[in-house]
Amino acid sequence: MKSLKHNALMNVILNISNMVFPLITYPYIARALLVEANGRLSFAQSIISYFTLFATLGITTYGIKVCAQARDNKEDLSRKVQELIIINFFTTFISFVVLGISIIFVARFRQEWALLLIYSVNMLLNVVGLNWMYLGLEKYDYITIRSIVFKFISLILMFIFVHHPSDCYIYACITVFATAGSNIFNIIHARKYISFKPQGKYNIKQHLKPTFMMFSAFLASNIYMNLDNTMLGFIKGNYEVGIYYTAVRMQVVLGTFVTSVTAVLLPRMSYYFKKGQTDILKNTLKKSYRVLLMASIPVVAFCIIFARECILVIAGPNYLDAIIPTQIIMSCIIMMVVTNLIGVQILLPSGKEKSYMYAVIIGAVVDLVLNSFMIPLWGATGAAIATMAAQTAQAIFQIIIARDYVKIMFNGKKTLLIFAVTAIASVITVVVNMNVKIFFIYQLIVLAGVFFGVYALILWIIGYEDFVEVVEYFTRGHIRRYRKF
């Protein structure tokens, strides 16, 4: 097995590409397609996400755990992968049938039938993609290189073919190609790790309960991740969806980047739980908490304080109504870190899928109830408030359920120190912002450089252990020798 540092590095690179790709494309797309077309795209994606959720039936996460536990036995691994593929094909077929019926009978869906069909291609490509198998086997090098290549090709295609709001269909096709096109190659490459010859003695039944547990959890999670767009589309129209999508896009991109560490830990933590390696497990929990805390707090603070500057650069002046929703929803990254730490590193690897499901259902119920009266009143801002409340409710429930593990990984002194350093960097950057006025793109670059430069410099001066360790990893120990000198 590759080291966790290597896997984390590869996943960070992958998520940097996932972050850079939207940061490059979205400013262009926001201006080329404008608010209405972006609202249509976001609405169609939110609808397809529900059908995709049923098609995958929780296999995207459950499959990682199963493959991680069976990776030492190729025959057992091949059998389990084939069992999950059989389930996946059946649920995908049902999803396509229900989608076709929905387009026929739901007027709002008929308006966007073309976009819905384009995005539905993802469902089929996810079946043959087997991404969960590669993640379970910790093949992060392959996943990262493959993903970056397809994103780069998609980037070129986007700049060539997307120029006007009417090009939204082309953009949808390119988006599908960027996110799932590489899955076609996965099924071919998979022969290196598994056999596709019928293994016999299939036990489909053993997977049904845990996959349905994960499906229930992801359904609830999907509700409060996509219900906002769906309800905004029905109640307020495409403009509010476009405004809200801008805020959510920033939160998802940065949140995914911050939580890159937890993504690589699910297969490894599952392995530790199965082998009973308690000491290693506890140390990994402590380390990941400190690293995620160090990464998330400054990102959230910067984006809340300088939300206007971020919106101007990323989307343009037509999207300034997204400032308040952005400031509200960026705080969700903190709750996202908590739920990823507890859910991905503790509940799922330890076999507590039911507790994870209940936590997400609580968040979904809170989101649904609050959206029902906040969206009609405040539109995108109301949806952002509901999302923040839902994330908080889910995090509180998970903390209660996993309180024994939370006590192990929580460190009060480290937490206060990170908040203090972030506050110092914030004050200095605000002063700079008040006294330096240049073109808004350069303004944001200067502010980001000052903020994160001051933050990193303080951590380096005080010798913050996890920061120094990360720097040393990338500099191969040169910084340590310099510090000693």
Copy the structure tokens of residue 143: 């996943």
453 and 378 within one domain: no
- pLDDT for 188 beyond 70: yes
More confident residue, 156 or 264: 156
- Write the burial class of residue 212 (CB in 10 Å: 0-12 exposed, 13-18 middle, 19+ buried): middle
When pLDDT is cut at 50, 70 and 90, the band that residue 428 belongs to is very high
- The residue from 395, 410, 425 where one domain ends is 410
- Is the domain of 350 the same as that of 453? no
Of the listed ranges 97-101, 233-237, 380-384, 473-477, the one predicted with least confidence: 473-477
Task: With beta carbons less than 8 A apart as the criterion, state whether 366 and 391 touch.
Answer: no
465 and 417 part of one domain: yes
Query: Which has the higher per-residue pLDDT, 154 or 184?
Result: 154
* Residue 190 pLDDT: 79
Give the domain range for residue 32. Answer: 4-410
CA atoms of 358 and 349, how far apart (whole Å): 16
pLDDT by residue (tens digit) across 176-186? 887 777 777 77
**278-305 and 238-258 helices, crossing angle to 10°:** 140
Both 245 and 287 in one domain: the answer is yes
pLDDT at 11: 65
pLDDT band at 286 (very low <50, low <70, confident <90, very high): confident
Give the per-residue pLDDT at 485: 45
315 and 430 share a domain? no
Element (H, E) at 86: helix 74-105
Domains of the chain: total: 2
Q: Do residues 465 and 371 both lie within one domain? A: no
433 contact partners, CB below 8 Å, separation of at least 6: 306, 443, 447
Question: By C-alpha distance, which of 320, 360, 100 is closest to 214?
Answer: 360
Q: Does 273 share its domain with 392? A: yes
Same domain, 119 and 202: yes
**Rounded to whole angstroms, how far apart are CA atoms 258 and 460?**
20
Whether residues 94 and 233 share a domain: the answer is yes
Q: DSSP letters along 9-57, please?
A: HHHHHHHHHHHHHHHHHHHHHHHHHHHHHHHHHHHHHHHHHHHHHHHHT
Tell me how far the alpha carbon of residue 424 is from its chain's centroid.
Answer: 29
- Summary mean pLDDT of the chain: 81
The answer to whether the CB of 340 falls within 8 A of the CB of 333 is: no
- Select from 392, 410, 428 the last residue of a domain: 410
Residue 380 shares a structural domain with residue 423: no
**Helical segments of 379-439, H only:** 380-401, 403-409, 412-435
pLDDT of residue 422: 96
Check residues 421 and 174 and name the one with the higher pLDDT: 421
120: nearest Cα among 67, 191, 47 = 47
* Residue-wise pLDDT tens digits, 28-74: 887 888 878 888 888 888 888 888 878 877 777 778 878 877 777 78
The residue from 355, 388, 410 where one domain ends is 410
- Domain check: are 285 and 304 in the same one? yes
Residue 366 has pLDDT above 80, yes or no: yes
pLDDT greater at residue 64 or residue 478: 64
Q: Are residues 418 and 373 in the same domain?
A: no
What is the value of pTM for the model shown? 0.67
